[in-house]
Amino acid sequence: MTAPRPSAADAGARLSFDHGAPGRRAVDVPRWTGVQTPLPDAALLRDGVRLPELSQGELVRYYTELSVMNYGIDSGTYPLGSCTMKYNPKVNELIASASGFADAHPLAPIDGMQGTLRTLLELQRGLGELTGLPHVSLAPAAGAQGELAGALMIAAALDARGELDQRRRILVPDSAHGTNPATAAMAGFNVTQIPTAADGSLDRATVERELDDTVAAAMVTVPNTLGLWEHGIEDVAELIHEAGAYLYADGANFNAIMGRARYGDLGFDVAHLNLHKSFSTPHGGGGPGAGPVCCSDALAPYLPTPIVAEGDDAVQLAAPQRSIGRMQQFHGNVGVLLRAYAYMRALGLDGLRAVSGQAVLNANYLRALLHGHYDLPYDRPVLHEVVFSGSRQKREHGVRTYDIAKRLIDHGFHPPTVYFPLIVDEALMLEPTETEPPEAIEALADALIAIAEESASDSDALHSAPHDAPIGRLDETTAARKPILRWTPTEES
């Protein structure tokens, strides 16, 4: 009689240590017959470490089993608000894996790297054109590092003006990305929070009141994390410049305005872009990433090194005159930059403009479908994402946004971002992106509507969700405060 197939929950609990048997090997490794090199510290050699012992077939099946439990953008709709988890065209992977790019050594002579450098130069120019900020460094390894580069560039420019000791404050709206205040602090500035006005834009009156000769810059996320356009941003830029400060754009949400509005035209002095958000390079898993920083003429001398520049006879790597220095080794994450280049060239300006238009259309379609089922704190047309609130479900039925997100897993969707931005109570942040078809958006909306109805009829089902996932609800607080980082065998193991 054939044994029943393990359930998803059973499979999720089985580690590699639980498979196989002593003596099994996935490969045959020749026995070493050379001279043994002693370890510098004998304590590093442990006899009691148990390693899993699997045949090759068992090993492949184990990792395949894990892979089907994972959820990614290739699995289904991934409406993670503020992160633009959109489909990555596979042609990008082909370009980045081409041997001329993939096999190039970062320390190879410049004359043997002209194809790669020319490609990066074209990417720099394209990003400069799209942002309206013509000077670009591709060096930062992620958006947060691009932010830090921008803040350090502002600090260097103020230092050159002899004003750094005086200008120690950076204004950050409470609708900005959470990295913005952290970045300002890392760069040595003090953070002054600017509240959001009733319409979801930053409060101009507070900006005017706070502006003085102690302000170094304002960091504004455009569009902001509420998914809304910052009304009057051009006027705010003028006020900031009149006060002698700089205006920084967090370009993480550039996907919503790409090909339609340029940061330089709006009055920004410097911006970073998250290429995994706007230009479809891979996102998540801890990296690698790319966060190019783009700036005006005034800040160009301070860009992080290296930049790619046209030389007399060849494309070269150069250091800006007063560069803040290196952000990482070599010239940035070139494999990621190549993927963004392929995306930009495949679509062209008209295609990129269509991307932003479809992203805005999809977000507003989802907003219309869910209108009335969840509270909408800022009830106006959105751009790339929409932020609902589960405060009604919490108040009337004791169901929190966290429960709603977990229950969505049972409907086959990855949960959206929850509890961010912090200015929205029980926030439910949804970004369908431009790559989801209408049917997928409708299915997501139907699931969220069903969950809203279930919160009134069977709240216990939400409190204990997910029910159909490989692993049930975890104690996330204990996991964060007392993580178990090492596997230890049990008696059964």
CATH classification of the domain holding 130: 3.40.640.10
Q: How many CB atoms lie within 10 A of CB 472?
A: 13
Residue 104 lies in a domain: yes
* Contact predicate 265/249, CB 8 Å: no
pTM confidence score: 0.90
Are 269 and 190 found together in one domain? Answer: yes
Are 181 and 133 found together in one domain? Answer: yes
Please tell me the distance from the alpha carbon of residue 387 to that of residue 393, in angstroms, as a whole number: 15
Q: What tens digit of pLDDT does each residue of 248-282 get? A: 999 999 999 999 999 999 999 999 999 999 999 88
When pLDDT is averaged across residues 392-412 and rounded to a whole number, the result is 97
Are 196 and 301 found together in one domain? Answer: yes
The backbone torsions φ and ψ at residue 368, rounded to the nearest 5 degrees and listed phi first, read -70, -40
Residue 70 has pLDDT above 80, yes or no: yes
Q: How many CB atoms lie within 10 A of CB 210?
A: 17
Q: What tens digit of pLDDT does each residue of 322-369 get? A: 999 999 888 889 999 999 999 999 999 999 999 999 999 999 999 999
Q: What token pair was written down for 185?
A: 């602090």
Range of the domain at 283: 90-346
Residue 2 has pLDDT above 50, yes or no: no
Residue 38 lies in a domain: no
Residue type present at position 382: V
Residue 81 lies in a domain: no
pLDDT reported for residue 12: 47
pLDDT interval class at 439 (50, 70, 90) = very high
Of the spans 16-25, 108-117, 381-390, which averages the highest pLDDT? Answer: 381-390
Are 325 and 352 found together in one domain? Answer: no
When pLDDT is averaged across residues 481-486 and rounded to a whole number, the result is 88
Strand segments, DSSP code E, in 94-251 are 135-137, 169-173, 190-194, 215-221, 246-251
Are 300 and 432 found together in one domain? Answer: no
* Contact predicate 157/246, CB 8 Å: yes
Compute CA distances 318 → 123, 125, 152, 321, whole Å: 16, 15, 19, 9
The helix/strand count (H/E) of the chain reads as: 17, 12
Please tell me the distance from the alpha carbon of residue 121 to that of residue 134, in angstroms, as a whole number: 12
When pLDDT is averaged across residues 139-164 and rounded to a whole number, the result is 96
Are 306 and 361 found together in one domain? Answer: no
Beta bridge partners of 133: none
pLDDT reported for residue 484: 86
Are 258 and 276 found together in one domain? Answer: yes
Residue 188 lies in a domain: yes
pLDDT reported for residue 230: 95
Residue 175 lies in a domain: yes
pLDDT interval class at 486 (50, 70, 90) = confident
Residue 7 has pLDDT above 60, yes or no: no
Beta bridge partners of 172: 193
Q: What tens digit of pLDDT does each residue of 102-123 get? A: 998 988 999 999 999 999 999 9
Q: What token pair was written down for 336?
A: 């990621």
pLDDT reported for residue 284: 63
* CATH classification at residue 403: 3.90.1150.10
Are 329 and 371 found together in one domain? Answer: no
Residue 14 has pLDDT above 80, yes or no: no
Compute CA distances 2 → 5, 6, 9, 64, 65, whole Å: 9, 12, 20, 22, 20
3-state secondary structure of 74: coil
3-state secondary structure of 262: coil
Residue 155 lies in a domain: yes
Structure-model confidence comparison of residues 486 and 379, the more confident one: 379
When pLDDT is averaged across residues 291-309 and rounded to a whole number, the result is 97
Residue 45 has pLDDT above 80, yes or no: no
Q: What tens digit of pLDDT does each residue of 202-259 get? A: 999 999 999 999 999 999 999 999 999 999 999 999 999 999 999 999 999 999 999 9
Instruction: Give the CA radius of gyration of the chain.
Output: 26
Given 319, 346, 373, the domain boundary residue is: 346
Residue 1 has pLDDT above 90, yes or no: no
Buried b (16+ CB within 10 A) or exposed e, 131-147: bbbbbbbbbbbbbbbbb
Residue 50 lies in a domain: no
Are 335 and 456 found together in one domain? Answer: no
* Contact predicate 295/143, CB 8 Å: no
Residue 43 has pLDDT above 90, yes or no: no
pLDDT reported for residue 269: 98
Are 303 and 196 found together in one domain? Answer: yes
Percentage above 90 pLDDT, the chain? 76
pLDDT reported for residue 6: 41
Are 306 and 187 found together in one domain? Answer: yes
**Maximum C-alpha span of the chain:** 83
pLDDT reported for residue 13: 58
pLDDT interval class at 187 (50, 70, 90) = very high
pLDDT reported for residue 492: 54
pLDDT reported for residue 40: 80
Q: How many residues does the chain have?
A: 493
Kindly give the pairing relationship between strand 386-389 and strand 190-194. unpaired
Residue 94 lies in a domain: yes
Identify which of 267, 290, 322, 332 has the alpha carbon closest to the alpha carbon of residue 153: 322
Are 289 and 432 found together in one domain? Answer: no
**Count of structural domains, the chain:** 2
pLDDT interval class at 83 (50, 70, 90) = confident
pLDDT reported for residue 491: 59
Residue linked to tokens 């990008």:
92
Please tell me the distance from the alpha carbon of residue 67 to that of residue 79, in angstroms, as a whole number: 20
When pLDDT is averaged across residues 152-164 and rounded to a whole number, the result is 98
The backbone torsions φ and ψ at residue 74, rounded to the nearest 5 degrees and listed phi first, read -80, -10
Given 346, 368, 384, the domain boundary residue is: 346
Please tell me the distance from the alpha carbon of residue 384 to that of residue 371, in angstroms, as a whole number: 16
Q: What tens digit of pLDDT does each residue of 170-181 get? A: 999 999 988 999
